[in-house]
Amino acid sequence: MTGEMHARVPSVAGANSKELLISVIAGLLQGCRHVAVGASSPIPGAGALLAQNLSGGEMRVSVLGSRRNNFFTDGGVELFDCAAQGRIDAFFLGGGEIDGHANINLVGVGGYPQSAVRWPGCFGSAYLYLLVPRVILFREEHSRRVLVDKVSFISAAGPAGDKIYRPGGPHALLTNMALFSFDKTRRRFRLDSIHPGHSLEEVLDNTGFAFDRPEAVPQTPLPDAERLARIRGPIRESIGETYPRFAASVFPIPA
């Protein structure tokens, strides 16, 4: 559901918009020991590989679908067993709908089970969301269609103030417009920064749920020249193994 990966990538002051997202993701993963990235997730994958690169190789990154960056040997179940044991610190989830309480919907809208609009399904979300401490919600499209007041179907539930076993949960929400963090006690998102080229008004207009924000919302920092060189060098090469078409379309300068 990360979508639109082959579209023309607009440039923002040296770094393009995808490179900005990759850089933001790397920042969100700082300090993690083991980050896992699910299928069809080139930008989270590139962000995780950048975080690993910046960690000097301390961080483990498992990219599903990769041969080089995937050391699981026990079949599809291993990722999930790993998560339940606390061996995975961060993971990424998307959502056709994400609401203000951080519930996510990957099933569809317009009724269930006979849905007018049906998406693929829950995948591992219902499970991983409760077990992985730093779940990053990543959805490029920032619109009232996606960021809704209340999801039509809860694929995976945000923190509800109940006393169930829940070492995991939402850490941040990243879109092509802004970065939010999630306050588990208040059960609300907080706008942390707005990406260059976008305004607070635009964020407010396109967000269907209420959220907290500081008086002055900072701009999301662009990757500096040194980080950009890493993205366009080793990260481009590394993510290209799993997502060759993505790598070719996003990075303007060949490695």
Residues in contact with another protein by CB under 8 A are 39-40, 65, 72-78, 80, 84, 106-108, 112-116, 118-131, 153-157, 160, 162-166, 245
Task: Tell me whether residue 15 or residue 107 sits nearer to another protein (CB atom).
Answer: 107
- Note whether 221 and 13 are within 8 A (CB): no
Task: Tell me whether residue 154 or residue 177 sits nearer to another protein (CB atom).
Answer: 154
Task: Tell me whether residue 67 or residue 225 sits nearer to another protein (CB atom).
Answer: 67
CB of 247 to another protein, least distance (A): 13
CB of 243 to another protein, least distance (A): 9
CB of 213 to another protein, least distance (A): 27
Task: Tell me whether residue 9 or residue 12 sits nearer to another protein (CB atom).
Answer: 9
- Note whether 106 and 123 are within 8 A (CB): yes
CB of 87 to another protein, least distance (A): 13
- How far CA 252 is from CA of 8, 47, 206, 247, in Å, comes to 11, 17, 29, 9
Q: What is the dihedral of CA 52, 92, 172, 23, to 10 degrees?
A: 40
Task: Tell me whether residue 112 or residue 205 sits nearer to another protein (CB atom).
Answer: 112
Nearest-angstrom CA–CA distance, 182 and 62: 25
Question: Is the preceding omega at residue 113 within 30 degrees of 0, hence cis?
Answer: yes
DSSP β-ladder status, 15-16 and 11-12: antiparallel
CB of 100 to another protein, least distance (A): 16
**17-28 and 42-54 are packed helices; what angle lies between their axes, rounded to 10 degrees?**
60
